[in-house]
Amino acid sequence: MMNYVFTRHNNGVYVLRVEDTDMERSTGESERRILEDLLWLGIEWDEGPDKDGGYGPYRQSERTALYNKYADALIRQGAAYLCYCTPEELEQRRKERIAKGEPAAYDGRCRKLSRQEKARFEQEGRKPVIRFRVDADTISYTDAVKGEITFPDRQIGDFVIVRANGMPMYNFSCAIDDHLMQISHVIRGDDHVSNTPRQILLYQALGWDIPVFMHIPMILGQDGARLSKRHGATSVAQYRDQGFLPETMTNFLSLLAWSPAGDREIFTIEDVINEFDPGRVSHSAAVFNTEKLRWMNGMYIRSLSEDRLAAAAFPYFKARGYPVSGTGDIRAITASLQQRAETLADMALEAEFFFADTVQPHGEEEEAVMNLESSPLVLREFAREVRQQEQWDGGVFVSVVKSVSKATGVKGKNLWMPVRIALTGSSHGPELGAVIEIFGKEKCARFAEKAAAV
């Protein structure tokens, strides 16, 4: 999100690159979902797998020949070398160094292997990785958010740039692609701070300019731990499935890492782009507050026109199996629920009584009301009055309730609440005037009679 906002604010070119060199985790399906999520959020790219801007291909898995070319160049100049150490050997030596109080980084054992040693390892069937040789005393850079950052070389060690299967590591492929694709700014989470010195060393070894790095805060759960599945949904698709609007998500996500001037919290993506100021990017981790997200989504739902709301909610009504064929079937229903709902999925769930043949009291509070001695009397009189009406709308409903009160002597909560629970099953919900119009006269009378007979 921050990359998109920053690029549009500065009238730059937004490049979508698919970093899919991890063959176990990267699939065509995962790529498709990511692209769908971005488009749903309204984030469109200027260059990418489907929009060649002259710097493709844009999938790293299709650029291995380029990575091999630069890996070979680094080996020739002595900046990289083949490493035949097995995972077991690496782990054992790592433990030994830690036990001695030494840095856990690789010890450079394969830096100066002879031809005979390489041949012996290859005869053993060992597949080498390619490591970059780190000789710098310290690596420093100025982060556009965090300021000056320095890493001692012994903390980094000689790092792998190409796996034994020939696929490049993240730091190597990204450094090459950032240069070849003329990327000016690298904006990413601050969990990548430790990757940056490795990439800077690669830029320097290859004689390339270093882009501007901006590391923005990580997102934490409300317990202060890094956001994960145990905190709930973690992907855009999951929030879409739960009934959050794209406008809500772009607004909420933008404010996790950036704070505008003033107390305003509701922003369109265009507002964020226009008002964006890198100096107001947060320096501390952001907390993903689900309650605030739901509040914000409710605000957006209430701002929608009745037609837009019905269109947005329709897939959620279909998913629950309601007999609806178009938005016209739910327009009045969604309008009646608009002031209460926080998500579209919640709205569809709450709408169940509109499609039911009968309802039951939802809980102890509702059952207590229906067990009052006066409730059956009120409901029978209500049903009788309803069936006598020629017209049926909110105004007529109010007159009917007044007549019921006069006939039964019941007033206040004990008058209105049994009717609400008989129709909806709940003591809370949309305005009864809207409910009875959607139900129609016959259904209102029938539900009241059923509830009175229980």
With 0-12 / 13-18 / 19 or more C-beta atoms within 10 angstroms meaning exposed / middle / buried, residue 385 is buried
Helix axes 413-424, 432-439, angle to 10 degrees: 40
Specify the DSSP class assigned to residue 442: H
Q: What is the pLDDT of residue 36?
A: 94
Q: Report the relative pairing of strands 185-189 and 212-216 from DSSP bridges.
A: parallel
Lookup result for tokens 């938005």: 327
- Residue pair 131/158 in contact (Cβ under 8 Å)? The answer is yes
Q: Report the relative pairing of strands 138-143 and 147-152 from DSSP bridges.
A: antiparallel
Count of Cβ atoms closer than 10 Å to residue 341 Cβ: 24
Judged by DSSP in three states, 219 sits in strand
Domains and CATH numbers, the chain: 67-214 (3.40.50.620), 304-355 (1.10.8), 364-453 (1.10.10.350)
Q: What string of pLDDT tens digits covers the 454 residues of the chain?
A: 889 999 999 999 999 999 988 777 778 888 899 999 999 999 999 999 999 999 999 999 999 999 999 999 999 999 999 999 999 999 999 898 888 888 888 989 999 999 999 999 999 999 999 999 998 778 889 999 889 999 876 778 899 999 999 999 999 999 999 999 999 999 998 889 989 999 999 999 999 999 999 998 888 877 667 765 555 556 889 999 999 999 999 999 998 888 888 788 999 999 999 998 888 888 888 888 899 999 999 999 999 999 999 999 999 999 999 999 999 999 999 999 999 999 999 999 999 999 999 999 999 999 999 999 999 999 999 999 999 999 999 999 999 999 999 999 999 999 999 999 999 999 999 999 999 999 999 999 999 999 999 7
With 0-12 / 13-18 / 19 or more C-beta atoms within 10 angstroms meaning exposed / middle / buried, residue 424 is buried
Nearest to 294 by CA among 367, 345, 351, 229: 345
Active site residue 95: no
- Residue pair 130/162 in contact (Cβ under 8 Å)? The answer is yes
pTM score of the predicted model: 0.86
**DSSP code per residue over 328-364:** GGTHHHHHHHTTT-SSHHHHHHHTHHHH-S-----SH
Nearest to 79 by CA among 206, 256, 197: 206
Nearest to 167 by CA among 16, 58, 19: 19
The DSSP element (H or E) to which 189 belongs, if any, is strand 185-189
Of 100, 229, 402, 443, the catalytic one is 229
Q: Which residues are CB-contacts of 120 (< 8 A; sequence separation ≥ 6)? A: none
- Residue pair 313/337 in contact (Cβ under 8 Å)? The answer is no
Bridge partner list, 220 = 226, 287
Distance, C-alpha 10 to centroid of its chain? 25
- Residue pair 281/254 in contact (Cβ under 8 Å)? The answer is no
Q: What is the pLDDT of residue 28?
A: 84
**DSSP code per residue over 52-104:** --SS---BGGG-HHHHHHHHHHHHHTTSEEEE---HHHHHHHHHHHHHTT---
Cis peptide before 103 (omega within 30 of 0): no
